[in-house]
Structure 1
Amino acid sequence: MRHATRIAMFASALALFAGTHALSDAATQSGPTPYPTSNDAWPGTGVIRTFGWMKDNRNFFWTERAKKQGAIVFAGDSLTANWKSLGADFSGTLVANRGIGGDVSRGLLFRFQEDVLDLHPKAIVILIGINDLTAKQPASATLTNIRSMLSLKATQQPQVPVFLCTVPPSANPKAPVDEQQRRTLNQGLRQIAKDTKLVTLVDLYAATATNAGTPELHYFTDDQLHLSADGRARWKEILQPAMQRAGVL
């Protein structure tokens, strides 16, 4: 019996050492994990995009890790990154903008741990997919990557609510989109929200599209791709009540 007890004590001490060692490694990491150099090393599926400013953005995010603990984290591409007034628009609430221009769902999946989950967020807002669509990626691949993000969240932080946004309309001739794929993607997002605990749909597409499915012009900049100040106000208008109902605000 004493021998078994000593073994159990040794195992506990070893587990404690391993946990402490892991925390020490995380604490001494000097910056974000570099983007993989091999496509096979990326998590998820589909298109990969890396630009110089993405590294710069992630380096900046890393410097804010301590002060953004417990924030509502907005994760996505330029539609999110361009929300420069996010802090003022949610005055009194700690928010973290983790949008990167040009990002795709596979890129967000790669950085989801460090940029989102490691902040131990109060809530997460996800808007991703327009760059997947302009890259002609099938909606099914984007949905797979988003499910992987939600699976990571559910495993590590199951009680954190997620607000999942549909991809808004666009009509930029330099960034054409297969509208059937957009419909498939948005319908898939609606289904994910319906089927997944603590995931709330925020239908940004419905809120910013005309009856014909084209961009409601005053919600977009002249490129008919990015949201204008009115468009971001519209996003807040539909997001804020959902957050209030969930007890986040």
Structure 2
Amino acid sequence: MRTTILTLLLVVSTHLVQAQFSTYYYQKKSLFEKLPNDKNEIIFLGNSITDGCEWSEIFQNKKIKNRGISGDVTDGVLLRLAEVYESSPKKVFILIGINDLSRGKSQEYVFNNIQKIVQEIHQNSPKTKLFVQSLLPVNDCYGRFKKHTNKNEKVLWINKRLKESASKASYTFINIHDAFVNESGKMRKDYSNDGLHLLGDGYMAWVNIIKPYVK
């Protein structure tokens, strides 16, 4: 009887975990797990903002791997992190958290999970250089992604904590946020057409900031 109950609990728990993530998440996760590993990979890890860029093409570097998944959250990154560090990548660039906030997770929850991501990569691939990028600003002027685009104060709080913790947690903090804000502290309209995701000019601004760290 006890074995049966434990088995049922395990099944229920598994279904609950899977229900947190989209079919797209599992499609991409399963693909990433099948792709070949390369030496000296440079990995971009995050959600749709990372997913939407052609990183290897922009930098003209086939060692760069896009591990962004649209809609992903910090728990989703933690669930698929083994695929990231199994190649002992040269560098990992992390940008994650805005979707957590849109789902009601606290700013503390996001910050703590990013620290867990950093710690797990360090433990399993100690030679990997980690770069934690600030969350980007958002803008509610378009009336879209309303649960995302009212989170600028929480974004600032997370970014402040990420910067303060960089030395202790052994990662490089990259402030991309400030290049994207307008005079009101919101996402610049020339960099986004929905207040959350980036246009081409936005990606180019991002690339210009991180270029010295990628090369």
- TM interval, shorter chain, is 0.7 to 0.9
Partner Cα distance (1:208, 1:178) in 2 = 15
Q: Secondary structure at the match of 1:201?
A: strand
Q: Does 1:216 pair with 2:194?
A: no
CA contact (8 A) 1:166 1:203 kept: yes
Aligned to 1:119, what secondary structure does the other structure show? Answer: coil
2:86 match: secondary structure: helix
Instruction: Find the partner of 2:160 among 167, 172, 187.
Output: 187
Following superposition, the deviation at residue 93 of structure 1 comes to 4.8
Residue 26 of structure 1 is matched in structure 2 by none
Asked whether the equivalents of residues 138 and 152 of structure 2 are also in contact (C-alpha less than 8 Å), the reply is no
One-letter amino acid of the counterpart of residue 71, structure 1: E
Render the CA deviation track for 1:89-125: whole Å, top value 9, x for unaligned.
11135111010000011111111112x1112211000
2:93 alignment partner, one of 125, 129, 153: 125
Number of the residue aligned with 2:51:
81
Where in structure 2 are there 5+ consecutive unaligned residues? 1-12
Q: 108, 111, 114: which one pairs with 2:77?
A: 108
Deviation by residue 1:40-89 (Cα, 9 ceiling, x = unmatched): xx9xxxxx83111111111221221x244431011100000001x21111
Q: If the length of structure 1 is used for normalisation, what is the TM-score?
A: 0.74
Indicate the residue corresponding to 1:232 in structure 2. Answer: 203
Q: Output the CA distance in 2 between the equivalents of 1:228 and 1:96.
A: 20
Deviations 1:153-208 (A, max 9, x none): 221222211111111111243333333222211111112223322x1111121121
* Distance of aligned partners of 1:119 and 1:213 in 2 relative to their CA distance in 1, 3 Å threshold: same
CA distance in 2: counterparts of 1:54 and 1:68, whole angstroms:
23
Q: Does the CA contact (< 8 Å) of 1:49 and 1:102 recur in 2?
A: no
| Runs (5+) with no aligned partner, structure 1 | 1-34, 43-47, 244-248
CA 1:214–1:96 in 2, change beyond 3 Å: closer, same or farther?
Answer: same
Residues 97-176 of structure 1 correspond to what in structure 2 (within 5 A)? 97-114=66-83, 116-172=84-140, 173=143, 174-176=145-147
Aligned to 1:22: none
Q: Could you tell me how far apart the structure 2 residues matched to 1:216 and 1:229 are?
A: 13
Report % sequence identity.
Answer: 25
Query: Counterparts of 1:74 and 1:158 in 2: how far apart (Å)?
Result: 17
Q: In the aligned structure 2, how far is the partner of 1:194 from the partner of 1:212?
A: 30
* CA distance in 2: counterparts of 1:136 and 1:72, whole angstroms: 31
- Return the alpha-carbon distance in structure 1 between the equivalents of residues 146 and 210 of structure 2: 26
Aligned residues: 198
**What TM-score, normalized by structure 2, do the two folds share?**
0.85
Corresponding residue number in structure 2 for 1:19:
none
- Cα displacement string for residues 115-144 of structure 1 (whole angstroms, at most 9, x for unaligned residues): x11122110000001101211211110111
